[in-house]
Structure 1
Amino acid sequence: MLRSGSGCVTAVLARTLRDALGPEHCTLFISTDINSRAVRATQATGSANSILHHEILQADLLAPLLPRLLHSVDLLVFNPPYVPTPTSEVGSHGIEASWAGGKDGREVLDRILDSIPNLLRPQGGCMYLVAVNENLPEDICARMREENLQAEVVRSRKARNEVLHVLRFIHA
């Protein structure tokens, strides 16, 4: 999990997996966020939802975890800062880090895309990514196909003033 925000997505995922697989199944969740307030919120949400195996790090994307996660991620969920903004807003530690995506809303997203084939477990590792029209979702899928991943837009939905897309990449 990247950019944990409040930790709600992790909590829903953890509860869903616990219900589907049973409480004896051990799933490790790793959340990162560059914002210390988001890290604290994720910790509180995880505790309130009894997520037992949850590592929460204040970090820029997955930088400190890359060697550890090499070819071992079963599921990666990423809701990047995707709003097109001036480049100067990208990478701050303030609240704008939650939405500031830079040119085409892709500056943060593009930094992680090259790592995906090396993170996902061969034969079935999967990533879900949230994007908007301005991020050029079909271009993202084409780029991931060049990395020999199955890539598709699995859901699109209008939400207020933006069209959200959920993209899925699978290591085949």
Structure 2
Amino acid sequence: MLPTPDLSHLTKKDLEEVYEPAEDTFLLLDALEVDYDYLKGSKPSICLEIGSGSGCVTSFLGNIIGSTAYFCTDINPHACRCTQRTGKQNNVNIQVIHGSLASPLELRLASKVDVLLFNPPYVPTSDDEVGHAQSDGKIEGAWAGGSGGMQITNVMLSKVKNLLSPSGRFYLVALKENNVPGIIKLMREMYTLTGEIVLQRHAGREHLFILRFSHL
């Protein structure tokens, strides 16, 4: 079992402004560990995490894969700084870009991303709430998901096919209320990407899933 990345450098103040790793984070780490042999053996050239928060997930991935190009984006500038520091704390060189979803890198990384990660704001909220959360670039943007918890996720889903390399994999965290079968169906029918559930877990009131997508 691989250790969770060292986050001892993060202060109480940091975790008031940045999403603290929780059950959804740890389930994503477990899913990456399930795919350890593939991730290690495929020797990815480019890995991209959308909404990196503390930097825990990409640092974990870096300790599986080793030396390669790691990119992260986040709308929260404090999260960008924390991700950079977490990478350094765990000997993973992460290039962090402040911006929304993949927008700063869409053209540069088109058809080049071998591992794409997204733990989205998946909690169902009002559309007004998600709008304010995204525009403010604060911690609320890490969980406020709008109608069905899918407002931000749907935007990102439309970008995945163009980002993934021919052998690339996309890992997505989802909540049961997000309609997991509907997500898998959408990705197949609209974007010709095949998807499956890697892991699922109950965490309090939440029923969490990790979905994995790749080209047909």
> Normalized against structure 1, the TM-score is what?
0.92
How far apart in 2 are the matches of 1:166 and 1:15? 20
Q: Is contact 1:89–1:97 with CA below 8 Å preserved after alignment?
A: no
Structure-2 residue corresponding to 1:31 = 72
**Other-structure match for 1:136:** 179
Q: Name the aligned partner's letter for residue 31 of structure 1.
A: C
SS of alignment partner, residue 60 of structure 2? helix
For residue 158 of structure 1, the aligned residue among 193, 202, 205 is: 202
- The 5 A counterparts of 1:1-172 are 1-18=49-66, 26-52=67-93, 54-90=94-130, 91=134, 92-122=136-166, 124-146=167-189, 147-172=191-216
8 Å Cα contact 1:3-1:61 kept in structure 2: yes
Work out whether residues 82 and 109 of structure 1, in 8 Å CA contact, stay in contact via their aligned partners in 2.
yes
8 A Cα contact 1:84 1:102, kept in partner: yes
- 1:39-93: CA deviation from partner (whole Å, max 9, x where unpaired): 11111101111113x2101100011111011111101010001000111122131
The alignment's C-alpha RMSD in Å is 1.0
Aligned residues: 163
Q: Quote how far apart the aligned CAs of 1:120 are.
A: 0.5
Task: Name whichever of 145-154 and 97-106 sits farther off.
Answer: 145-154
Name the amino acid aligned to 1:162.
E
Quote the Cα distance in structure 2 between the aligned partners of 1:72 and 1:16. Answer: 20
8 A contact 2:97–2:104 mirrored in 1: no
Report the Cα offset of residue 155 of structure 1: 1.2
Residues 118-139 of structure 1, C-alpha deviations (whole Å, 9 max, x = no match): 11112x2110000001111110
Q: Which residue of 1 aligns with 2:22?
A: none
Structure 1 window deviating more from structure 2 (150-159 vs 100-109): it is 150-159
| 1:21 alignment partner in structure 2 | none
Q: In the TM superposition, what is the alpha-carbon distance from 1:163 to its structure 2 partner?
A: 0.5
Runs ≥4 residues deviating over 3 A: none
Quote how far apart the aligned CAs of 1:100 are.
0.4
The normalised TM-score by structure 2 is: 0.73
2:20 corresponds in structure 1 to none
Rounded to whole Å, the distance in 2 between the matches of 1:67 and 1:73 is 11
Paired-residue identity, %? 44
Deviates more, 1:56-65 or 1:84-93: 84-93
Q: Which runs of 5+ in 2 are unaligned?
A: 1-48
